[in-house]
């Protein structure tokens, strides 16, 4: 009736989750789980709870409670706590899904029509874009996959897969469009002048960070995490912790190449903290956004500087495998989408 599973937390310690499931004619009528630091504690809890539940079942006190979509979302969050580090956007998406009308539905009876109706309402009532709604379906399916294992309920996964195919066909959902925004010379000059005129009285040296981003292709949060101790000025390289990865969110330590002009920017910074740029990455992004608004530069994000820097590396003649040493892209195929070279920079041969 009960099982114990061991999981490794983000800090390297082991957690033991004791889970109890009761079935009636193949349908789960009760489930509960608790996580402990020791296996013996998990076994003791499970033994006590099984005895109580058996007594309740014998006296008819255990009713057939439905398992809702919200229950699956809650269980998905619980199973990931302390093990998988989620980004802010995923946490917000899961929290919103937990409060939507779909959350109250019995997961055992969920249909593709239910999910399609939800997606349509998101597009119309919330004015959500097709890529945003696709994200909802992706997170729902992740929770359903977890539920298929934890609660032995496979219907939600079947419903989600069928709904996703139909929603793509109906163009209710779609993959996000690839950005091709390049920074123009005029925009670069305006931003440089703007930051240069304000940095003397500003806490964050935005001009240096702006130039550094265009030289290194680093994300704003990565720039704010670079440490003095990890820089090798002789080799022209730097180590960076927790580099973005499709599956590995923590502990992905990688070494990347830094060009000489970027190293000179680093050397010009005051060495007063462990980090070269010891600033809040959100504040850096906000300062960049304010500058664009003030200068009436539309459609430009700080992340576009990574795109611009990557494209400039290709324009300098670096190969894909060489550019990857700067940008730390895991896939060369993914890196290809950043090669939006300007036609005038293609040389005659």
| Residue 20, token pair as written in the block | 């109890």
Residue 144 and residue 292 in one domain: no
Q: Which of 13-17, 46-50, 204-208, 223-227 has the lowest mean pLDDT?
A: 46-50
How many structural domains comprise the chain? 3
- Look at residue 62 in the predicted model and tell me its pLDDT: 52
pLDDT bucket at 217, cuts 50 / 70 / 90: very high
Range of the domain at 210: 185-345
- At 159, is the pLDDT very low, low, confident or very high (cuts 50, 70, 90)? very high
Do 289 and 335 reside in the same domain of the chain?
yes
User: 252 and 162: one domain?
Assistant: no
Mean pLDDT of 83-101: 77
CATH number of residue 84's parent domain: 1.10.150
Mean pLDDT in residue range 320-339: 79
**Residues forming a β-bridge with 30:** 22
For residues 240 and 275, the answer to whether their CB atoms sit within 8 Å is: no
Instruction: Clarify whether residues 78 and 173 are in a common domain.
Output: yes
152 and 228 both lie in a single domain: no
Q: Mean pLDDT across the chain, nearest whole number?
A: 85
Task: Residue 134: count other Cβ atoms within 10 Å of its Cβ.
Answer: 19
Same domain, 167 and 191: no
Confidence of residue 56 (pLDDT cuts 50, 70, 90): low
Q: Does residue 278 have a pLDDT over 80?
A: yes
| pLDDT at residue 245 greater than cutoff 80 | no
Q: What is the mean pLDDT of residues 266-285?
A: 94
Indicate whether 129 and 227 sit together in one domain. Answer: no
Q: Does 172 lie in the same domain as 96?
A: yes
pLDDT of residue 251: 63
Q: Would you say 39 and 16 are in contact if contact means Cβ atoms under 8 Å apart?
A: yes
Three-state SS at 239: strand
pLDDT at 83: 61
CATH number of the domain to which 248 belongs? 1.10.443.10
How sure is the predictor about 100, in pLDDT bands with cuts at 50, 70 and 90? Answer: confident
More confident residue, 285 or 9: 285
Domain boundary, last residue among 127, 156, 177: 177
Lowest average pLDDT, out of 73-77, 169-173, 261-265, goes to: 73-77
Indicate the burial class of 116 (C-beta count within 10 angstroms; 0-12, 13-18, 19 or more): buried
Backbone dihedral angles phi then psi of residue 261, each to the nearest 5 degrees: -60, -35
Contacts of 324 (CB under 8 A, 6+ apart): 332, 335
More confident of the two residues 81 and 47: 47
Band of pLDDT at residue 233, cut at 50, 70 and 90: very high
The verdict on 172 and 121 lying in the same domain is yes
Tokens of 27: 């349908």
Distance CA 155, CA 158 (A): 5
CA 212 to chain centroid, in Å, comes to 24
Position 309 confidence tier, pLDDT thresholds 50, 70, 90: very high
pLDDT in tens, 104-149: 888 877 889 899 999 999 999 989 899 999 999 999 999 999 888 8
Domain identity same for 276 and 306: yes
């Amino acid at each position: 009736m009960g099982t114990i599973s061991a999981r490794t937390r983000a800090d390297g310690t082991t957690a033991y989750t004791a889970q109890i499931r009761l079935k009636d004619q193949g349908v789960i009528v009760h489930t509960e789980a608790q996580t402990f630091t020791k296996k013996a504690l998990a076994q003791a809890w499970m033994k006590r709870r099984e005895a109580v539940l058996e007594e309740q079942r014998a006296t008819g006190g255990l009713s057939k409670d439905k398992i809702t979509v919200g229950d699956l979302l809650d269980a998905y969050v619980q199973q990931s706590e302390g093990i998988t580090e989620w980004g802010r956007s995923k946490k917000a998406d899961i929290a919103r899904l937990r409060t939507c009308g779909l959350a109250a539905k019995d997961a055992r009876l969920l249909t593709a029509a239910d999910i399609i109706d939800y997606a349509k309402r998101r597009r119309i009532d919330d004015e959500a874009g097709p890529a945003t709604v696709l994200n909802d379906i992706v997170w729902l399916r992740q929770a359903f996959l977890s539920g298929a294992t934890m609660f032995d309920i496979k219907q939600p996964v079947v419903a989600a897969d069928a709904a996703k195919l139909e929603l793509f066909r109906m163009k209710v959902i779609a993959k996000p469009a690839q950005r091709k925004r390049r920074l123009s010379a005029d925009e670069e000059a305006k931003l440089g002048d703007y930051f240069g005129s304000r940095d003397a009285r500003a806490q964050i040296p935005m001009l240096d960070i702006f130039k550094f981003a265009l030289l290194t292709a680093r994300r704003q949060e990565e720039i704010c995490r670079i440490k003095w101790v990890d820089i090798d000025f002789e080799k022209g390289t730097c180590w960076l912790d927790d580099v973005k990865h499709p599956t590995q969110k923590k502990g992905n330590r990688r070494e990347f190449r830094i060009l000489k002009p970027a190293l000179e920017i680093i050397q010009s910074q005051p060495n007063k903290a462990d980090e070269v740029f010891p600033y809040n990455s959100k504040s850096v992004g906000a300062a960049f956004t304010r500058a664009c608004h003030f200068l009436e530069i539309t459609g430009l994000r700080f992340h576009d500087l990574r795109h611009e820097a990557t494209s400039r590396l290709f324009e300098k003649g670096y190969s894909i495998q060489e550019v990857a040493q700067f940008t730390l892209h895991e896939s060369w195929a993914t890196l290809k989408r950043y090669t939006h070279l300007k036609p005038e920079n293609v040389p005659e041969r």
